[in-house]
């Protein structure tokens, strides 16, 4: 049994409650410690405090956008090692390029498969 202190920690930030619940359920069921936020505004200080193993981040959110937050995390030397998956309905090549230029590790378009997302998470941070 993995103790909670040794569980991989994934932060999911999305303003859509259904998306948050779906991702949280799938990742928690797989033994991951899932933290959730509904907006990006206070996320940077939250990330500094929690130091998640991975962040799954919606691009389009009120206040601070996901791509702006991604850039801020990647510019912080203490946080830049954290992989960030950008989750978005934007599917244009220019959007993908902007995501990777901001430091995103992976670009996932909505709709997506929760099972495929779990595999990507495990590939990025190692399964339990």
Sketch the domain layout of the chain as residue ranges.
Answer: 7-120
For residue 40, name the pLDDT band (cuts at 50, 70, 90). confident
CB–CB of 20/38 below 8 Å? yes
Structure confidence by residue, pLDDT tens digits, 99-128: 999 999 999 998 999 999 999 999 999 854
User: Does pTM top 0.75 for this prediction?
Assistant: yes
Per-residue confidence band for 90, with pLDDT thresholds at 50, 70 and 90:
confident
Instruction: Name the nearest CA neighbour of 116 among 82, 85, 84.
Output: 85
Domain 7-120: CATH superfamily, name plus number: Response regulator (3.40.50.2300)
pLDDT exceeds 90 at position 6: no
């Amino acid at each position: 049994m993995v103790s909670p202190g040794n569980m991989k920690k994934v932060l999911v930030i999305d303003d859509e409650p259904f998306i948050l619940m779906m991702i949280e359920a799938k990742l928690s069921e797989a033994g991951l410690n899932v933290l959730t936020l509904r907006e990006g505004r206070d996320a940077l200080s939250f990330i500094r405090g929690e130091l998640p193993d991975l962040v799954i981040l919606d691009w389009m959110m009120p206040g601070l956008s996901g791509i702006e937050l991604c850039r801020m995390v990647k510019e912080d030397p203490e946080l830049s090692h954290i992989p960030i998956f950008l989750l978005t309905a934007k599917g244009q090549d220019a959007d993908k390029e902007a995501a990777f230029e901001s430091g995103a590790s992976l670009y996932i378009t909505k709709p997506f498969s929760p099972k495929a997302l779990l595999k990507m998470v495990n590939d990025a941070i190692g399964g339990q």
